């Protein structure tokens, strides 16, 4: 199986921030959930991947090609960024007409279908769109030029639960073709738990974890106990720890604990919280 995205030792240096040595790959036909707190470097990663900013070092391949050298690959990449990038005086109808001259594989019928599905008014000026409606328009564009890879930066932000669920359905439909893949950066980890095959977790510019989502969620658990009871747990199986007045809660490798302990299911949000705020942080080695 070839990879839709390959990052090899990607690095971007700023005076006050460093995106440091990112290495991971997204297999074709899969969805990658990209998570991390505000300022972790998610948008910087996406911009470096797309060639919108110059990387300091490392290698980026999209659909097997370096986008900064082979611009044609962007014909096959659909973008939904956290800030709209369409001319504000245009409407959806005039935008579609303009983009038909930009993309060789522009599908007018598909675009019209998505405008209808997303309830986008064709003649309403983009400057009057809400954030959620702008995201929907960006997605309609991304899906209308026969892209093989979708890259979405906070695409579910600003959408109501029904619209978010519809978006996830569309992404799931999209990857039913083996050559289609999705890179989805989102703060809404519950959405990623529903559809992501892989998860990459970024913290302060460093990759904390990359791997299969189901393996991560199956391996991690939340343990609630007293500080004294915690002493019975081998420290190497404690991934993050929060101390409270009446005890402790810990992110643990649940299959390595003594049988008398009861461990709750961990979520992606739990894993982020304990890895960032816990006493013990760093790479989640499973």
Reported as a single tens digit per residue, the pLDDT across 216-269 is 999 999 999 898 888 889 989 998 888 888 889 999 999 998 888 989 999 999
Give the pLDDT of residue 83.
67
Between 285 and 233, whose confidence is greater? 233
Give the pLDDT of residue 89.
93
Q: Where do the H-state alpha helices sit in 121-233?
A: 131-142, 161-174, 189-195, 213-219, 227-230
Please check the confidence at residue 10 and state whether its pLDDT lies above 90.
yes
Average pLDDT for 17-45: 93
Structurally, the chain folds into a number of domains equal to 2
pLDDT band for position 201 (cuts 50, 70, 90)? very high
Whether 63 is covered by a domain: the verdict is yes
In whole angstroms, give the CA distance from residue 216 to residue 253.
10
Give the pLDDT of residue 183.
97
Give the pLDDT of residue 133.
85
Whether 283 is covered by a domain: the verdict is no
Residues present in the chain in total: 286
Tell me phi and psi for residue 198, to 5 degrees.
Answer: -130, 155
Please check the confidence at residue 99 and state whether its pLDDT lies above 80.
yes
Do 89 and 223 lie in one domain? The reply is no
The token duo for 247 is 């005890």
Mean pLDDT of all residues belonging to the chain: 89
Do 118 and 231 lie in one domain? The reply is no
Do 194 and 224 lie in one domain? The reply is no
pLDDT band for position 1 (cuts 50, 70, 90)? low
In whole angstroms, give the CA distance from residue 196 to residue 219.
16
Percent over 70 (pLDDT), the chain? 95
Do 115 and 243 lie in one domain? The reply is no
Do 227 and 200 lie in one domain? The reply is no
Average pLDDT for 190-194: 91
In whole angstroms, give the CA distance from residue 143 to residue 137.
10
Do 62 and 196 lie in one domain? The reply is yes
Give the pLDDT of residue 166.
83
Whether 39 is covered by a domain: the verdict is yes
pLDDT band for position 52 (cuts 50, 70, 90)? confident
User: Which range marks the domain in which residue 268 is found?
Assistant: 216-277
**What order of strands is seen across the sheet that includes strand 31-35?**
77-80, 149-153, 181-185, 31-35, 198-203, 206-212
Do 128 and 240 lie in one domain? The reply is no
The string of pLDDT tens digits covering residues 67-96 is 887 878 889 999 988 766 789 999 999 999
Do 164 and 66 lie in one domain? The reply is yes
Do 189 and 230 lie in one domain? The reply is no
Do 192 and 93 lie in one domain? The reply is yes
Whether 285 is covered by a domain: the verdict is no
CATH code of the domain covering residue 68: 3.40.50.300
Whether 18 is covered by a domain: the verdict is yes
Do 77 and 159 lie in one domain? The reply is yes
Beta carbons of 268 and 199 less than 8 angstroms apart: yes
CB neighbour burial string for 239-251, b if at least 16 within 10 angstroms, e if fewer: bbbeeeeeebbbb
The crossing angle, in degrees rounded to 10, of helices 108-117 and 92-99 is 150
């Amino acid at each position: 199986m070839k990879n839709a995205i390959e990052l090899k030792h990607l690095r971007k240096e700023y005076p006050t921030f460093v995106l440091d040595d990112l290495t991971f790959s997204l297999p074709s036909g899969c969805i990658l959930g990209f998570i991390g707190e505000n300022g972790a470097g998610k948008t910087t990663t996406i911009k470096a991947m797309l060639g919108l900013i110059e990387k300091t070092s490392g290698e980026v391949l999209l659909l097997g090609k370096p986008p900064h050298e082979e611009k044609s690959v962007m014909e096959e990449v659909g973008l939904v960024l956290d800030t709209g990038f369409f001319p504000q005086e245009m409407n959806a109808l005039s935008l579609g007409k303009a983009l038909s001259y930009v993309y060789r594989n522009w599908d007018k019928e598909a675009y019209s279908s998505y405008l209808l599905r997303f309830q986008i008014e064709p003649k309403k000026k983009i400057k009057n769109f809400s954030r959620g409606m702008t995201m929907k328009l960006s997605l309609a564009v991304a899906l209308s030029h026969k892209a093989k890879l979708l890259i979405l930066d906070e695409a579910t932000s600003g959408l109501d639960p029904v619209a978010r669920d519809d978006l996830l359905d569309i992404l799931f439909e999209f990857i039913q073709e083996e050559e289609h893949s999705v890179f989805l950066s989102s703060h809404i980890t519950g959405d990623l738990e529903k559809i992501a095959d892989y998860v990459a977790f970024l913290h302060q510019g460093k990759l904390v974890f990359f791997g299969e989502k189901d393996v991560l969620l199956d391996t991690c658990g939340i343990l609630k106990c007293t500080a004294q009871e915690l002493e019975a747990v081998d420290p190497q199986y404690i991934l993050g720890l929060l101390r409270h007045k009446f005890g402790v809660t810990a992110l643990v490798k649940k299959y390595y604990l003594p049988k008398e302990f009861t461990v709750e299911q961990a979520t992606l949000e739990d894993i982020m919280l304990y890895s960032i705020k816990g006493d013990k942080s760093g790479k989640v080695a499973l």
